[in-house]
Copies of this chain bind each other. A is one copy, B any other.
Amino acid sequence: MGDLRVAVLLSGGGTTLANLLNVRDRGGLMADIDLVVSSRASARGLAIAEDAGIKTEVVEATKYTISAREGEVIRDWPAMSRDLDRILLGGKYDLICMAGFLCRYLFSPELKGRIINIHPSLIPMFCGQGMYGHRVHEAVVEAGVKVTGCTVHLADLEYDTGPIILQRCCPVYSDDDPDDVAARVFREECAAYPAAINLIAQGHVHLTTDRRTYVDGDRYIERFSNDVD
C-alpha cells in the first residue's frame, strides 16, 4: 500500500495543516497532501499551502449566504456541499481531513468513510454546533474538569458525532485559563491527527456496523500526554 492522497479542508489559520506538513517533512506521515480547500479566500491556511507548493481551491462560504439578520447567518449548505463534492470527487482523494473547517459539509454518500475531523475535546463532551475553537476550552475551564483532550473521528452529516478513531487526553490544571488548555490540547492534536491518518493508511481502522470503529492493535496506541509544562 502506498501513501494516501489527502485533501485538507480549512477555514482559518491552518495550524493543523502546518502540523501535518511538519510531520510529513520529518517522514512521519503516510500521506501526501495534494489539495487544500478553504471556505475563506483570506484564510492564512491558504498561504501555508501555497508556500508548501500544494494546490489550493476556495469555496467561499459567504457566497452561499441565504440570509443574515440579527447576527444569525444562514447559508445554503447543500449548494456549497455540492460544489465541494465536485472538487473532492473529481480529485479521487483517499482521505479528506477537516482541519478547522467551520462549514457544514453535507457530503455525497460516495465520500462516506473517507472524511475525518479533529475536535479539541473528548467527544461527546464539549462538542456540537457552535462549540469550536476557543469556546471549547472556555467551556472546559468553566466546567472545572481535570482532564480534556482531542478526538479524531469520521465525519457524518452532523457536527462532531461520527465514529471515533482516536482520542488523546491531557490534564487541566487548577490555574489554567482557556489559552493554557488550548495550547496543551493542541500538542495532543499534533500527535493524534498524524497517528489517526497513519492508522487509516495502514488499513487498521474498520467501521463497525453500529457506528463505532474497530482499530487494529489499539493496545499499542498512546492516548495520554507525557508532557509536563
Q: In the complex, A166 Cα to B147 Cα: how many Å? A: 9
- Size of interface on A: residues with Cβ below 8 Å to B: 37
B residues within 8 A CB of A175? 214
Q: In the complex, A212 Cα to B142 Cα: how many Å? A: 8
Number of copies: 2
Near B by CB (< 8 A), chain A positions 102-145 give 122-125, 142-145
Interface segment, one of A4-12, A50-58, A93-101, A217-225: A217-225
Q: In the complex, A21 Cα to B22 Cα: how many Å? A: 51
> For the complex, is A215 an interface residue (Cβ under 8 Å from B)?
yes
With both beta carbons as reference points, the residue of chain B lying nearest to A163 in the complex is identified as B144
B residues within 8 A CB of A164? 144-146
Q: In the complex, A165 Cα to B124 Cα: how many Å? A: 21
8 Å CB contact of A146 from B147, B218, B225: B218
> For the complex, is A178 an interface residue (Cβ under 8 Å from B)?
no
**A123–B147 contact, CB under 8 A?**
no
**A147–B122 contact, CB under 8 A?**
yes
B residues within 8 A CB of A125? 122, 124-125
Q: In the complex, A223 Cα to B173 Cα: how many Å? A: 11
**B219–A144 contact, CB under 8 A?**
no
Quick one: given A122-B125, A173-B218, are A144 and B212 in contact (CB under 8 Å)?
A: yes
B residues within 8 A CB of A123? 145
With both beta carbons as reference points, the residue of chain B lying nearest to A216 in the complex is identified as B174
Instruction: A124-B143, A143-B212, A223-B224 are known; give 9 further A-B pairs, CB within 8 A.
Output: A122-B122, A122-B147, A123-B145, A146-B166, A146-B223, A169-B223, A169-B224, A224-B224, A224-B225
* A–B pairs, 30, beta carbons within 8 Å: A122-B122, A122-B125, A122-B147, A124-B125, A124-B143, A124-B145, A125-B125, A143-B212, A144-B163, A144-B211, A144-B212, A144-B213, A146-B151, A146-B166, A146-B215, A147-B168, A147-B169, A147-B223, A169-B169, A169-B224, A171-B218, A171-B219, A171-B223, A173-B218, A174-B212, A174-B213, A174-B214, A174-B215, A174-B216, A219-B228
